[in-house]
Structure 1
Amino acid sequence: MGQSQDSRMRPPWSQESSPEEGPSTARSQQWKRAIGVLIAVLLCGLLLGSSMLWVYIFRNCGPRPCETPVCLDLLAHYLASGNRSVDPCTDFFSFVCETANGTRNSFQALTEENKSLLWRLLETQGSWHLGSGEEKALQFYNSCMNTDAIEAEGVGPLQQIIEELGGWHISGNWTSLDFNRTLRLLMSQYGHFPFFRAHLRLHPTPPHTPVIQIDQPDFGILLQKEQEQKLYAQILREQLTYLNRLGILLGGDPQKVQQHASWFISFTSRLFQFLRPLEQQQAQDKLFHVVTIKDLQKMAPAIDWLSCLQATFMPMSLSPTQTLVVHDLDYLRNMSQLVEEELLTSRDMIQSYMILGLVDTLSPALDSKFRKARRELRQKLWELKERPPLPASPRWMKCVESTGDFFEPTLAAMFVREVFGPSIQSAAMELFAEIKDAVIIRLKKLSWISEETLKEALNKLTKLQVEMGAPKQAWNPELAKEEYSDIQLGPTFLQSFLSCVRSLQIRKVQHFLHPFSYHRWTGSPWGVNAYYSVPDHVVVFPAGLLQPPFFHPGYPRAVNFGAVGSIMAHELLRIFYQLLLPGGCPGCDTHVLQEALLCLENHYTALSLSNMAPLNGSHTLLENSGDIGGLAIAFQAYSKKIAEHSGEMTLPNQDLNPYQLFFQSYAQVMCRELNSQDPQGSYSPPNLRVHGPLSNTPDFAKHFHCPRGTLLNPSAHCKLW
């Protein structure tokens, strides 16, 4: 029954053993037990270490917040707009663009910032070389800013010009000179075109030789016939008040001024009735006519076309067989008949019509009373259209704009040296190369393109030239000095202004006449509009566009690809717009192509109805395709970039992942007032330029978690590009 003492003292887990084996077996079991505990501890440590390693990798290889000054400035810019109370899946435009005072206008803000930089450069007067382009530009700018001198000059310089043109009846001093002589002087010496506009351009069809184009006048007093007769009458009254002010400022008899101003409005209204709407021109498939000067002389005999055009486009040598491009022949015929009739009975009124129009054209170079009258007219017309008040432009901005118009090569060099150094240019070219590669990949995957057409398209891309920043000639100060040699500054600002007008016109003609091996830019380097030139097969991205908040080498890549990358892709797609036109892609699968185009048109029609903004899809189809394709290609290029290169960043404290930041940056570029869109323009309204491409991009819905069936996550998508 009982147990021995040794048995009672053994631990409960011990087993019976022989005297020899007992101690060693117990130690072995204890050792095994210790090893198990050690292994468990090591496993726990390994798991903990792995977790910490993954946290480290996530924190250091995943998106990092960019907290550099340029990124913090961008963050402040983004946070200054956007209505976060709206659902991004139903109104991403408001989600990004809306502000407390309306809607952000991104391109306008960047344009003003670039002009502000030019202002600072002009105000920081350096030591320019005597007679250099910089010196002349600075002298003109200083003369423009010297408002005390302009006020002291008063109307004297302007009255001298009017007397040289024969005077006018309202002041009691009028000489009945030859009508075409006065018209010739207005066009060639003062840049004023009262009955039509004439300018040089490249012919719209190959081989794109220089040609004079004749257009309708721009109706400088902003005459616009509205649908509502009451509103139209109010506009006419405001314009009549403005013309009366001009006549009184020039010392005219109030009663005669009233009579002549009323005739001015009546005559302009009759001219306006002759205009042929753009829709009618498109319906008749005649957007322009090619005629000779001799032909036009027969159609519109009131104008001495050869002498007027010869004087305007010196040093061109014109003849009756010179080819012209005309957009609206019916307008010119009717205009000529009306002028002939009025010259028989109201020659003095025709003279007043031309003089009042000239005064309006020259108002930026006149004293404050004229500028104030013009500004108040614009403000009242703006209010009649129920638009927000126009902010008053400071004097420096007007002077920067005029200096830029007349001395563009000089200001271009100043601007580019300041903001477009080698590192920015290199980053922009790298981005363009990646977008171009994405376009090539996209073209190869098109379901409707033929092999032959694809080959031609790829060949076009290979031959394409790209220009970044500024034109090459902007860097040559000696060239600029030669271009300004005929400009005579002083003694009054008006005389300086007119000397610059004449010099600029001569330069434009010479640029078209002289053969050149490089592309002549159609915009300024501080501008913000990229474009594709069909004749020169070159795509241009000015330095003014490649600036914050659109682009910077230090930004997260999502920002650069979403903003400027989508613009670059859109411009590249312009090369292939011809393929989308009827008969433009004969070897392609036209059935598939037309289905895609119809899908696109229906897609935007549905969006416009949901946004209560009727849309003419036929006018905007090509640009809609460019918007959708540009976004898709930029997103494809961005996705490839971050898959191949780690280290992407995002903006701090914004709670947006890089893909969401990409789409936000795209929308930020499109921000502008909804009512700023031209109803006859080729672009959709700003909100549709945001919602159209995003709703056709499944990745947007994926990254913003949009439920199926919401506005920006429809059940079907269009596959064009």
Structure 2
Amino acid sequence: MKNSSQQQVGFEDQKLSEKRWKCLRRLLPLCVLLAAILVVFLGLLIYTVQNCNRGVDSCELQECEVLAERFLSSRDPDFHPCQDFFGYICGNWSAKHSVSEGKGSANTFTNLWEENQRIVRELLERSQRENSGSAEEKARKFYQSCMNTEKIQELGAEPMIELINQLGGWILTGPWNQSNFNKTLHVLMGEYKTFPFFKAYMDFSPWNSTTRIIQIDYPDFDMPSKSQYADYAEGLRVYLSYLNKLGELLVGTENVASLQIPLVFSFMSQLLNEVTPTAEHREKRMFFQRTTIQDLQELAPSIDWLSSLRAIFQSLVLNASESILVHDMEYLKGISRVLEQYQKTSLLHMYMILCLVQNLTPALDDRFQRARMELNKGLRGNSTQTMVLTPHWKKCVTDTSSFYEPVVGAMFVRETFQPKTKKLAEDMFSKVQAVLRSQLGSLEWMDKQTRKEAMDKLDSIKVQIGYPPRILKTEEMNHEYSEFQPHEDTFFANVLEFLRLSQKRIHLEPVDTHGEEYWEVPPFSVYSYYSLKHNTVIFPAGMFRSPFFHKDFPSELWSSWHVYGSRTPPCSLRIC
């Protein structure tokens, strides 16, 4: 049976390899097309620089003056644009933009992202009379509960301890009365999006891009692995220290935590050791295996798979014959053997509750945030670097934007992205597409067949600008968030409620076959992307702001800077 299964997996992998090769052959014209795009955009950008003064002189608005000042202060005239174009246009950028230690490199996109975050903050803090119970009102209440730091600090670890007691207690914090680990596992995965032993999710099938299939893989372990850190022993020491700190914050004393946490730490190591190394996957050419829930139950019997998957995918009707995709079957078999050893002990429950604590620490007070910050600092090896907590308003903007993404996106669009801006952007891309089509017809290095394929690809490419249309449908958004009832002074409870309700409805979303309604980035993002599945280029509204775009900029400026910068990230990071 094992050999037959492996042969079947190998056969399916071979078929996928053939499909990938055919896909690559279809992508060749697109590669040629993108090369042509870069040539055209480079020409546009050089034209812009050479005619900079003329373009800015024709625009006397403040936005143009700011843009001119930004450009002139960042360029270095000591470089000749034809010999070192990057040095010429951005030679003084680094000197003018200091970078905080540990914050990465500064660039125009990150600066624009910071500005967009401040706009979102202002919108969430703005006093406004919405309809009672509207999605926008709920987003603002959620944000306000996150910003209520006085209440969060006052409650401390109490909300977490109350939740633990509801789940049957924890040996670290008091009496423990839950011995059915499958029952606890179902609650954690189904209500709190915590996956201690495996993660399960819906994603598109490798064989059919229009259908989804349940996929199972090993969880996202916080514990360092040997492949991640050169000094593996030090990484483990830092992580054990972090777990002890969490136990201490919950229990109140170090002694109790120090006795129990090492046992959980050892158990985590056993689970992590069952993960199949990526190199081994590549060598065997077995990245996934198609099976059924019933077959998986026979291979890894310690987990009640049908009940577990029903707890996760509450809106789906599942039975034992349901097809699923497993990414690491050897891992699931291995942890089943490990779980069998500890079925009648408290260790499994201790481990699962600790996973829940780690998952929910962002909703607790600053002591938990600092513990996590110290862990990150230790794992990066920056023991001497002084690290500062992210400003709390940024954390709250991020949390609110994550939970209420379409609602916050609509608020941002209405504030910054007017219909005229959208129309100008769409016209810009239509003109660029027309220019590319004319240029493709005159490229001597293309043969007739390649030129035809490139033109067909150009004609078929779709461009989506600004935002998914559904987010501006107010009634639809209000209905989507109708069950959520956030309160201004209970941030932890708000997070729990959102996790519970979103888990019940997240898989009810229809398959977006055209890629129009569900984007991979929010409207306030500053990064575009190309969807191979939908043959669509996405440009979010957050990109269409100065210095990349403004409705009153001369067309030479925004057509070359914005488009060229968007399509070539390595260079655009320093377009000044």
Per-residue deviation at 1:469? 0.9
Equivalences for residues 16-31 of structure 1 within 5 A: none
Which structure's CA Rg is the greater one? 1
Corresponding residue to 1:71 among 58, 64, 74: 64
Root mean square deviation, CA, Å: 3.5
Q: 1:341 to 1:107 in 2, by over 3 A?
A: farther
Q: 1:73 to 1:391 in 2, by over 3 A?
A: farther
* Aligned twin of 2:36: none
Q: C-alpha separation between the residues in 2 aligned to 1:439 and 1:525?
A: 27
Identify the residue that residue 462 of structure 2 maps to in structure 1: 465
Tell me the residue number matched to 2:211.
Answer: 209
Deviation at 1:121, TM superposition (A): 0.8
1:198 alignment partner AA: A
Q: Can you give the 5+ residue segments of structure 2 that lack an aligned partner in the other structure?
A: 1-49
- The structure-2 alpha-carbon separation of the partners of 1:555 and 1:290, relative to structure 1 and needing over 3 Å to count, comes to farther
Equivalent pair of 1:201/1:210 in contact (CA under 8 Å): yes
Letter in 1 for 2:409: A
Q: Deviations over 1:19-53 (max 9, x none)?
A: xxxxxxxxxxxxxxxxxxxxxxxxxxxxxxxxxxx
Matched, 1:342 2:323: no
The answer to whether the Cα contact below 8 Å between 1:313 and 1:509 also exists between their aligned partners in 2 is yes
Aligned-residue offset at 1:152? 2.5
Provide Cα deviations, 1:312-355, integer angstroms capped at 9, x if missing partner. 111111122222233333333323332333335xx322222111
Show the counterpart of 1:275: 275
Residue 375 of structure 1 corresponds to which residue in structure 2? 373
Q: Which residue of 2 aligns with 1:141?
A: 143
Which residue of the partner structure matches residue 256 of structure 1? Answer: 256
Instruction: Look up the match of 2:549.
Output: 551
C-alpha separation in 2, matches of 1:339 and 1:504: 29
How many angstroms apart in 2 are the aligned matches of 1:114 and 1:343? Answer: 50
The answer to whether the aligner puts 1:218 opposite 2:216 as a matched pair is no
2:513, 2:55 → 1: CA distance? 52
Match in the other structure for 1:183: 185
Counterpart contact for 2:186–2:312, Cα < 8 Å: yes
Q: 1:528 to 1:327 in 2, by over 3 A?
A: farther
- Report what 2:305 is aligned to: 305
Match of 1:520 among 501, 518, 521: 518
CA offsets 1:132-186 (integer angstroms, 9 cap, x no match): 1111111111111111222233322211211122222223411242111111111
Q: Distance in 2 between matches of 1:266 and 1:415?
A: 47
Answer yes or no: is the 8 Å Cα contact 1:180–1:304 preserved in 2: yes
Q: Which amino acid aligns with 1:291?
A: T
- In the TM superposition, residue 551 of structure 1 has moved relative to its aligned partner by 2.6
What amino acid does structure 2 have at the position aligned with 1:546?
Answer: F
1:292 alignment partner in structure 2: 292
Q: How far apart, in 2, do the equivalents of 1:441 and 1:205 lie? A: 37
Q: Distance in 2 between matches of 1:120 and 1:441?
A: 45
Structure 1 residues 77 and 90: CA distance shift in structure 2, 3 A: closer
Give the equivalent residue in structure 2 for 1:436. 433
Seen in structure 2, the aligned counterparts of structure 1 residues 59 and 280 have a Cα distance that, compared at 3 Å, is: closer
CA distance in 2, matches of 1:264, 1:554: 61
The 3-state SS of whatever aligns with 2:542 is coil
Cα distance in 2 between the residues matched to 1:264 and 1:81 = 54
Distance, in Å, in 2 between the alignment partners of 1:80 and 1:103 is: 19
Measure the CA separation in 1 of the matches of 2:447 and 2:283: 28
Distance in structure 1 (CA, Å) of the matches to 2:367 and 2:176: 24
Aligned in 2, Cα 1:64/1:247: closer, same or farther, shift over 3 Å?
A: closer
What does residue 116 of structure 1 align with?
118
Q: Secondary structure at the match of 2:172?
A: helix
Match of 1:483 among 480, 492, 502: 480
**What is aligned with 2:399?**
402
Of 669, 684, 703, 2:573 maps to 669
Mark the runs of 5 or more structure 1 residues left unpaired by the alignment.
Answer: 1-57, 571-626, 632-665, 673-721
Partner AA of 2:236 in structure 1: L
Matches within 5 A, 1:157-168: 157-168=159-170
Kept after mapping to 1: 8 A contact 2:514/2:534: no
TM-score (normalised: structure 2): 0.79
Provide the rounded CA distance (Å) in 2 between the counterparts of 1:82 and 1:216.
49
Equivalent residue for 1:532?
530
Counterpart-to-counterpart distance in 2, 1:80 and 1:269: 54
What is the deviation of 1:119?
0.3
What is the rounded CA distance, in whole Å, between the counterparts of 2:181 and 2:266 in structure 1?
A: 20
Distance 1:110 1:64 in 2: 21
Q: Cα deviation per residue 1:436-484 (whole Å; 9 max; x = unaligned)?
A: 3355456654857772x75555445434433211111111111111111
Report if aligned partners of 1:97, 1:103 keep a CA contact under 8 Å in 2.
no
Query: Could you say which residue in structure 2 is the equivalent of 1:509?
Result: 507
Once the two structures are superposed, the pairs formed by residues 223-238 of structure 1 within 5 Å of their partners are 223-225=224-226, 231-238=231-238
Which residue identity is paired with 1:343?
A: Q
Aligned mates of 1:364, 1:158 — CA distance in 2: 11
Conservation of the 8 A alpha-carbon contact between 2:134 and 2:478? yes
Change (3 A) 1:133 1:292: same
Letter in 2 for 1:123: E
Alpha-carbon separation, structure 2, partners of 1:478 and 1:335 = 46
Q: What is the alpha-carbon distance in structure 1 between the residues aligned to residue 520 and residue 556 of structure 2? A: 30
Q: How does 1:25-40 map to 2 (within 5 A)?
A: none
**Which amino acid in the other structure matches residue 432 of structure 2?**
I
Q: Mean alpha-carbon deviation: is it higher for 435-444 or for 178-187?
A: 435-444
Is contact 1:83–1:98 with CA below 8 Å preserved after alignment? no
Tell me if the contact between 2:73 and 2:92 (Cα under 8 Å) persists in the aligned partners. Answer: no
- Does 1:360 pair with 2:361? no
Q: What is the distance in 2 between the residues matched to 1:73 and 1:224?
A: 49
